Structure 1
Amino acid sequence: MTTTRPTDVTAPTRAPQGRDRYFDLLRAVALFRVVFYHLMGWAWLPVAFPSMGVMFALAGNLMARSLGKRPAPEVVRGRLRRLLPPLWMLGAVGVTGMLLAGWGPDDEGHPGWWWLHLTFWILPLSDPPYGENLPGVHGLIADGWAVDLAVPLWYIRAYLWFVLLSPLLLRALRAAPWPTVLAPIALSAALEFGAVSVPSWRLDSNLSDLGAFGACWLLGMAHQEGVLRRLPRYVVPSLAPAVAGFGLWYALTHGFEAGHDLDDMPFAQSLWSFAAVLLLLHLSPSWSEWPRPLRRWDRLVTLLNSRAVTIYLWHNVCIDVVEALWDRLWGIAWLEENTPWLLENPWSQLPFVWLLTALCVVCFGWVEDLAARRGPRLWPDGRTGGHRA
C-alpha cells in the first residue's frame, strides 16, 4: 500500500503490475471455500473467508476497469454475454430434468405466471422457478436436487443487477466516493430494522443482496479508481477490525449457528464482508511473478479462474450425486460394520465432489470459452496449445 496521493478520483489509477495474480488467487480461494461450505455446512466458514463478498469485489473491480476503457453499453453487453450462456446450459439440463420428474405449471398454483417466470432462466432479473419437492433418482442423485441446483442462482441474479447498475454506480462513486460505498450498508440497515418495507419478496431479495454485497462491489470499483489509495495507510487497519467486530457481534447476538449463519443475516453479512474486503484490497500486493510457495498452484488457480462460473453453477449437483452414492454404501454390510466413520465423514466425499466437478468442467466448461469468443478448451489450466475441445 502506497502513501496518500492527490490523485483525481475520476481518473482510474494504473493497476500495479501483477495485481491480477493476487486477484486470481483470491477468486480461486473464494470458489474453493464455496464448494467446501456447501458440502460441510459449517457456519464459521463464511466468517473465516467471506467468499461472496470477495467475488463481488473482484467483479466490481473488473467492471470499473472495463468501463474506464470502453463505452458502457459495450461493457454491459460483454459481461452479459459471458455470464448468461453458462446459465442457459445449466437451465437446459436442469429444467429438462425437472420437467421429466413431473414439475409443471400447476406447482406454483398460477400456470400463467409459471410460464412467465420460466423466462428468468434466460434473463435472471429475479429468481428462476424450480421444483421444491421433486424426488431424486435412487442411487444416483439425492432428493431435493432441484432446490440445490437453483437456490445458488441468487448470485447470478445479483451479479446481473450489479452489472446493469455499474455505469450509474461508477458515476456516483466518482462524484461522492465514500457516501456511495457506504450507501448499500445503510440500505441493509434500513431493511433490517424495518425503516424500509418491501411488499414483494422478489424485490426484497434484490434489495437485500444489494445491501449485503453492494458495498463490496463498490469497494472493488473504488480500488480500481484509486479511491482507497487516497486514504492514509493507518485508516483501513484501524477501521476494518472495528466494523468486522460489530458485524460479528450482531451475528452472534441474533442466532448465529449452523443452519443460520451470515448468509441468513444480510446486515451482519454486509458489515463483515465490507471489512474483510477492505482489508484484502488494502493489502493487494504487487506480484511481478508468483511467490515461490505459490508457484506450484499456478495451473490450478488458472483453471479455477477460467471455469469459475461453471464450477459455481454445477458443484451443488455434484454434491447431491456424491451424497446419493454414499448412501448406497450403507447397503454394503462390511463397510457398515467396519468403516462407519468413513461413511459418516463428509471429508471422505470431498475428493469425489471435486472429481465430478472436474467432469462438469470438461463437459460444460467450454461454453464459457464460446461466451468469451475464445476457442473452446476442455481443461484451460494455462498450458499453451493443449486440451482444445
Structure 2
Amino acid sequence: MSHGHPTGTGRGAERTPAFGVPRQRTTPAFPEPDPFAATVTAPDSAAPKKPGRDRYLDLLRTIALVRVVVYHLFGWAWLTVLFPSMGVMFALAGSLMARSLKRPALGVIRSRVRRLLPPLWVFGATVLTLMFLGGWNPLKDPDHGGTLGLVELLNYVVPVGAPPFPWHLGSTSGLLENTWAVQAAEVLWYLRAYLWFVLASPLLLWAFRRAPWVTLLAPLALTAVVGTGLVTIPGETGNAITDFAVYGGCWVLGFAHHDGLLARIPRYAAVSVSALFMAFGLWWASGHLGPDGWDLNDIPLAQAAWSFGFVVILLQYSPSWQVLPRGLARWDRLITLSNNRAVTIYLWHNLLIVAAVPLIDLLYRLPFMQSPGAESFLDATDDWWMFALVWPLIGVMILTTGWVEDIAAKRRPRLWPDGRGSKARRARQAA
C-alpha cells in the first residue's frame, strides 16, 4: 500500500503565491562573509570586538532553516506565527549587506551574485535534467508560451523572474508524484527576492541613512497597497513586487540593526511598538483568513506586520554572542554547518521531501508490514518517518553539492564545514 506525497498542492504556502503556483504546505570569520550567513553586525559606534561570527545571529539562521523544512513537510499553519522564518532570514541578510556596503557597492553586488549563482546552477541543472528526461518540452508547455518559455529558462541561471516548470510531470503512480517539479521550483522565489534586495541595497541604504523612519516603514505602506487588493498587479510582476514589499521592512530592519538605530531606542518602547504591529497583523489576519486558515503566507499585510514586529524584538534583544552559552553549546557544530551550507539546505530541502516519499513506500514491502494494523500505523505516522528521513538526505546533499558554496566564495572546498577542524586548530594555537 502506498501513501500520497504530503507536500502536494492541497497544503499551504511558505509565502504569498509566486510563480503562479498554489503554495505547498509544505567557525572563524571569513574575509568575505557568506551571503546567507549571519555574521557580526555590531553598530559602528560600538566598542571594537574581536573578529568572529555573531553566534546569536547564526542561531537565528539555523532556527529559521529548520522551521522552513518542518513547515514544508507538515504544513502546520501556526508555524508562520510561531516563527516567521523568511522575515528573519531577510533581516539577517540586510544586516550583512549593510556591513558589506562599507566597500564599493558594485564590488559588493558582484560578490553577492557570484556566491548565490553557482549553487543555483547545480540545482537548476539537476531539476531541468529530470524535467527533460520526464518528457517536458517548454516549447509545447501551454503555461509558458512557446519561445517565451525558452527565454524564461534563463531564470534558472539568474533568478530575476519566474522559472518555467510543468504543473504535472509523470504520473501519480510514478517514482515521484506528478507535482514534484512544482515542489522543486517553488523555493526559487526566495532567491529572486534576495537578488532584488541585493541590487536595490545601495539605494535603500542611502535612503535609510537620510530618512530612516520613512525608509523603514515604506515597505509596510506598499504592502497595504499591493498586498490587500487595493491595487492589483497581475502575473509574476505582481508576485515579485508583493514579495519585495512584504519583506522589505525586515531587510531594512537589518540596516537599522547594523547601524545601531535599534540599539538607540529604549527597549520598552521598541517592544511596545512591535507588539502593536504584531497585534495589528493578527487582527488583519483574523478577518482575511486564507484557504489554510491562520497561515500568514496567504495574508501579505498580516505577514509583513507580524514579521516586522517579531524581527524588531529579536534584534532588540540581540546579545551578540562570540560563543554560544552553555545550554546551547552542544548544538555549536550543527549551527556552524547549517550557516555554512544555508543555500544548499534551502535550495534542496523541498525536492528531498518529495524524494523521501518513495523511500518511505518501501517500508510497506517489508514482511512484517503485511498486516492491516502495521499499514494503518505507517499511514498515520508517515510524516514523522519523512521528518526522520529528510535530514540524512539533506546531509547527503551537503556532502555531494555543498562544496559548490565554497567554490563560489573562492574558498577551499570543504565536505562538512561544521567548525570542528577550526576549533582544534585554535586549541593547538592556544597551547
Alpha-carbon distance between aligned partners in 1 of 2:220 and 2:68, rounded to the nearest angstrom: 23
Going from structure 1 to structure 2, the CA distance change for 1:385 and 1:255 (only over 3 Å counts) comes to closer
Q: 1:238-317 maps to which residues of 2 (within 5 A)? A: 238-256=272-290, 258=292, 261-317=295-351
Quick one: which amino acid aligns to residue 247 of structure 1? G
Contact kept? 1:303, 1:379, Cα under 8 Å: yes
Instruction: Tell me what 1:361 maps to.
Output: 398
- Map of 1:383 onto structure 2: 420
Mapped to 2, the partners of 1:256 and 1:293 lie a distance apart of 39
Does residue 1:190 correspond to 2:225, yes or no? Answer: yes
Counterpart position of 2:387 = 350
SS at match of 1:384: helix
Instruction: Mark the CA change 1:137 to 1:196 in structure 2 (over 3 Å): closer, same or farther.
Output: closer
Q: Could you tell me the TM-score, scaled by structure 1's length? A: 0.91
Residue in structure 2 matched with residue 102 of structure 1 by the alignment: 135
| 2:3 alignment partner in structure 1 | none
Matched pairs, number: 374
Bigger shift: residues 187-196 or 45-54: 187-196
- Match for 2:334: what amino acid? L
- Once the two structures are overlaid, the 10-residue window that deviates more, 250-259 or 362-371, is 250-259
Alignment partner of 1:21 is 2:58: no
Would you say the 8 A contact 1:41–1:258 is kept in 2? no
Asked if 1:329 is matched to 2:381, the reply is: no
Corresponding residue number in structure 2 for 1:56: 90
Distance 1:15 1:218 in 2: 23
Does the CA-based 8 Å contact 2:94-2:255 persist in structure 1? yes
Gaps of 5+ in 1: 1-10
The verdict on how the C-alpha distance between 1:377 and 1:85 changes in structure 2, with shifts beyond 3 A counting, is same
Cα distance, 1:242 vs structure 2: 1.5
* Deviations 1:252-299, CA, capped at 9 Å, x for gaps: 221256377111111110001001101000000132421001111000
Relative to structure 1, the CA distance from residue 106 to residue 260 in structure 2 (aligned partners, 3 Å threshold; closer, same or farther) is farther
Q: Secondary structure at the match of 1:76?
A: helix
Residues 149 and 317, structure 1, Cα contact 8 Å, conserved in 2: yes
Deviation at 1:142, TM superposition (A): 2.6
CA shift for structure 1 position 327: 3.4
Deviation string for 1:52-103 (max 9, x for gaps)? 00000000000000002x1000000111111111111001100011011111
Whether 1:88 aligns to 2:101 is no
1:195, CA displacement in angstroms? 3.8
- Quick one: distance in 2 between partners of 1:25 and 1:194? 36
Of 72, 91, 104, the residue aligned with 1:71 is 104
1:140 positional shift: 3.9
- Which string of whole-angstrom CA distances, capped at 9 and with x for unpartnered residues, describes residues 147-206 of structure 1? 0100111000000000000000000000000110110010000113444332x4121011
Q: For structure 1, which segment, 180-189 or 245-254, has the greater mean C-alpha deviation from structure 2 after superposition?
A: 245-254
Report how far residue 246 of structure 1 moved. 1.3
Query: What's the RMSD between the two structures over aligned residues?
Result: 2.0
Q: Which residue of 2 aligns with 1:4?
A: none
Distance 1:160 1:14 in 2: 30
Letter in 1 for 2:238: D
| Alignment gaps of 5+ in structure 2 | 1-42, 424-431
Q: 1:188 to 1:15 in 2, by over 3 A?
A: farther
Task: Name the SS of the counterpart of 1:42 in structure 2.
Answer: coil
Cα distance in 1 for residues equivalent to 2:400 and 2:228: 46
Aligned counterpart for 2:263 among listed residues 207, 229, 253: 229
- Alignment of 1:44 onto 2:85: no
Name the one with the larger helix percent. Answer: 1
Instruction: From the superposition, tell whether residues 143 and 240 of structure 1 become closer, same or farther in structure 2 (CA, over 3 Å).
Output: same
Report the TM-score, using the length of structure 2 for normalisation.
0.83
Instruction: Give the conservation status (yes or no) of the 8 Å contact 1:131–1:147.
Output: yes
